[in-house]
Amino acid sequence: MPARIFRFLALFLMLALFGGATALAQVAPRITIESVPPGAIVYVDGAVQGQTGPNFKVRINKGQHRIRLELEGHKPIEQVVTITAAQKLAFNMEKAPGRLDVKFPTTNDIARGAEIYVDGQMAGQVPLMIDVPAGRHLVEIKKPGAKVYTENVELKAGETKPIWVQMVAEARNGTLIVAADAADADVFIDGQPRGKAPAMVELGEGEHIVEVRRNEAGAPTWRQTVRVSANQQVKVQAQTLPPPPAPGSLIVLSQANEAEVTIDGTTKGKIGQPISLPAGQHSVSVTAKGFSTVTRVVIIEAGKPLIEKVDLVGSAESRGVGFVRVIMLTPMPGANYFINGRMFDESAILSDQGVEVAAGHVVISVAKDGYGTTKREINLRPGTTEVVEFELRNVGKLFIASQPPGALVLMDKNLIGQTPLTRENVPAGEHVIEITKDKYEPTTQKVLLKAGDQENVSVILRPTPPPQVDKLALQKGLSSFSAVTIPLGHFTADVGAGYAYFLTGRMNVGVFKKGNLPGIRELGLDVGAELRTTFYHFEIGGSIRFQAMRIDPFAIGLRTYVGGGGGPRQRNSVQWELGLPITVLAGSMVKLTAETYLQVYSDQNCPNVGDIRNIYNRDGAAGIEALGDYLKAAEHTGDRCVGRVGSDGIPPGGTMPNNPIYDSIGYVPGQTMLGPVRYDPKNPAYQVGGTGILERFNGVRGMLRAIVEVALSPNMNVWLLVEGAPLQGDRQMFTDKFNRIFPVTEIPIYGRAGLSLKF
């Protein structure tokens, strides 16, 4: 019994010593932080800890931490430090510069682009933000044509002070000399009197209005716009005019008391009133209701009156008549001219005045042997003149109609329009009329057209029977990989072998096909299912292919694929592809396709931490060792799921490297309790290409592929596919780090070949 008590006390003492040592090891070290100058606020991992000063200390847990110091008027300091034990950290705080915000108000645009000088040094152009040391500074703003703007500024460290620039343009003057040909003339500039001519005046730069006025009653003012340039002299010689002579007067008399007088285009009122006019020629028009307007030219003498009597004649409007004038576009001697069935003399009807005709509905016709008769109908209003043009030729008129309308019309092999169509001035004689319309059978007729006559052509078009489908050629042209989709009612089945997928099988089924579209010719859609395998990883997916355009020998489409699968040791993957195939067609025998596509993938190459924990909880140590043992569970010597080992299966240096599966839950072989978790996806020792070994490997790659398909028979194609992601990162699923059958780094070029069966 005493021995048993002794052993119990010894065991209790050992456990107490071990626990105390562990507690001491976990106490955070005390860190001394100083700054010059003192008083800076200290942040550790974003949390305020206090201000630097004498004996400022803070406890910080071991490991990496972000230390930041902030002090008014100084630049902040931020640094990442690794704490391993008690230590002292010292920082020198650098003074923050001041800042000048040089700008201008919208009402002083002259300051825009002016040069900024700070303490005599060029600093840039307005507007601008300028960093300067704290203290007093002289700011000067300079711009040609404007006065220098100056301001003294006192800045504190870290302070931003605005400077509003107000600039004033410099005065720029020139000299203007005004002379005149008159002995007594006054000078006005911009409406202001400037003395007698000649005059010398100093003016601001720019345009000015100069006026010279003779001191004679009625003399016109001489006026001119003159540009004055700075520091230059401009001379102006005014050529003035004397007063105009005394006006004369005109009195117009007529039998129509209400007649009005218009002189030189300006209405002067009723007749019988004296009208003052300057000496010279004038155009006088007298108008009255019910009378024709009479226009005369009169000469007015200075200071003398003139009486002009005008006899008015009743107007054509009041008499209910108008005038018809005929113009022949081509001379036609010997033609006969008729108005309302009455023949008129050729010289009268072709004259500038025409012939007088009662107002109303008027029919004019011109006839000549061998040219037929041409008619025009007009509505003649009283008092108006109607001009009618004729062209007699050995021609006739055609009217062509079809059912349905909109058919193309060719006359003598020349396209002349669409139905319904009226064609005038068609040469007399025999013509061949062809009428065609898409989806209808063409028709041809011969027409004998006489001069001056009209012939009517009317046809009913018959629909074109649908073309016979060459089913053998259609089946021979079926394709599994090109931009040309499979028609509804057909499908293809493919099998292929190659790399990186060793064996593939797929089936495509037609869903939709529409041909003969304007500018497109053919659209289509099909869907497919696909199986891919490396014999270690199996993937099943589905695809949709859209044919956007086909204009032989080219076709353009759009392809998308979504698939996913898995394999041993909880691995799985999912990927999505979106591609743009462009195909060159060599008849129905050969199809050459180039495609660029986007590949988005997400691969789980090792068990994730959750799966590992579930296996341990379910199967215990045996389950976790079966999953992560170096010598039993590893696929090969480079398997990163269980760590790094040599070619002989022994870890480098004879010591166990990091085992991600064990370290993810703290498992140690032979130990019944789980220890601390050492696996960290951010630790490079547990990463491949920057991603944690037990995490999902996500990526996006631009891919290129080329496919050639050759039809061996209507039911079989042979195909070759080459694709890859040149100059891009590895997809780790296809490397020996996670799959024994692949090389150390991914081969950038893949290839597969196979057969397609077409139904």
CB neighbours (10 Å) of residue 344?
18
Q: What is the rounded distance in angstroms from the CA atom of residue 180 to the CA atom of residue 196?
A: 9
- Judge whether residue 653 has pLDDT over 50: no
User: Would you state the pLDDT for residue 425?
Assistant: 78
The CATH number given to 173-238 is 2.60.40.1120
The residue among 747, 741, 749, 753 whose CA lies nearest residue 537 is 741
Domain 248-314 indexed as CATH 2.60.40.1120: yes
Residue 591: how many other CB atoms lie within 10 Å: 27
Considering the entire predicted model, what is its pTM?
0.43
Q: Give tens-digit pLDDT for 474-508.
A: 888 899 999 999 999 999 999 999 999 999 999 99
| Residue bearing tokens 């480098």 | 652
pLDDT higher than 90, residue 521: no
Q: Which helix (H) or strand (E) holds 460?
A: strand 454-460
Burial class (CB in 10 A: 0-12, 13-18, 19+), 607: buried
The pLDDT tens digits of the residues spanning 36-65 come to 889 889 999 888 888 898 788 888 888 888
- At 227-257, the pLDDT tens digits run 988 888 888 888 888 887 778 888 888 877 7
Q: Phi first, then psi: give them for residue 438, nearest 5 degrees.
A: -60, 135
Boundaries of every domain in the chain: 2-92, 98-164, 173-238, 248-314, 317-390, 400-460, 471-604+701-758, 609-690
What is the domain class of 317-390 according to CATH? Answer: mainly beta
pLDDT of residue 499: 92
- Quote the tokens at residue 638: 């480079």
Which region among 266-275, 686-695, 696-705 has the lowest average model confidence (pLDDT)? 266-275
> Is pLDDT above 90 for 97?
no
Q: pLDDT band at residue 754, thresholds of 50, 70 and 90?
A: very high
Percent of the chain with pLDDT over 90: 35
CATH class of segment(s) 2-92: mainly beta
Beta bridge partners of 593: 583, 707
Three-class SS of residue 24?
helix
Structure confidence at residue 646 (pLDDT): 46
Looking up tokens 């009402």 gives 107
Query: To 5 degrees, how large is the angle CA 621–CA 627–CA 631?
Result: 100
Q: What is the pLDDT of residues 60-82, one digit of tens each?
A: 888 888 999 888 888 899 989 89
**What was the pLDDT predicted at 496?**
96
Indicate the average pLDDT of the chain: 86
Quote the CA–CA distance of 59 and 372 in Å, as a whole number: 120
Q: Which class does domain 98-164 fall in?
A: mainly beta
Q: Residue 10: is its pLDDT beyond 60?
A: no
Q: Confirm if 218 and 244 have CB atoms less than 8 A apart.
A: yes
Q: Which residue has the higher pLDDT, 146 or 758?
A: 758
Does 248-314 match 173-238 at the fold level?
yes
The residue-averaged pLDDT of 387-395 equals: 80
Mean pLDDT value of segment 518-536:
89
Q: Which CATH number among 3.30.160, 2.40.160, 3.40.50, 2.40.50 corresponds to the domain 471-604+701-758?
A: 2.40.160
DSSP assignment letter at 246: P
Confidence band for 580, pLDDT divided at 50, 70 and 90: very high
> Chain centroid to CA 488: how far?
38
Q: What is the pLDDT of residues 656-686, one digit of tens each?
A: 457 899 999 999 888 888 989 999 999 988 9
Residue 20 pLDDT class (50, 70, 90 cuts): very low
Q: Which of 540, 550, 538 is nearest to 513 (CA)?
A: 550
| pLDDT band for position 647 (cuts 50, 70, 90) | very low
Report the distance separating Cα 35 and Cα 319, nearest Å.
Answer: 116
- What's the confidence (pLDDT) of residue 24? 44
Backbone region of residue 18 per phi and psi (left: phi > 0; alpha: psi in -120 to 50; beta: other values): alpha
- How many Å apart are CA 403 and CA 562, to the nearest integer? 52
Rounded to whole angstroms, the Cα distance separating 232 from 700 reads: 73
Provide the pLDDT for residue 481.
94
The predicted pLDDT at position 539 comes to 96
Residue 550 pLDDT more than 70?
yes
Give the residue-averaged pLDDT of 646-663: 62
Residues 119-144 pLDDT 10s = 988 989 989 989 888 888 999 998 88
Query: In the block, which residue shows the tokens 């004369």?
Result: 248
Strands 160-164 and 98-103: parallel
pLDDT-derived band at 379 (thresholds 50, 70, 90) equals very high
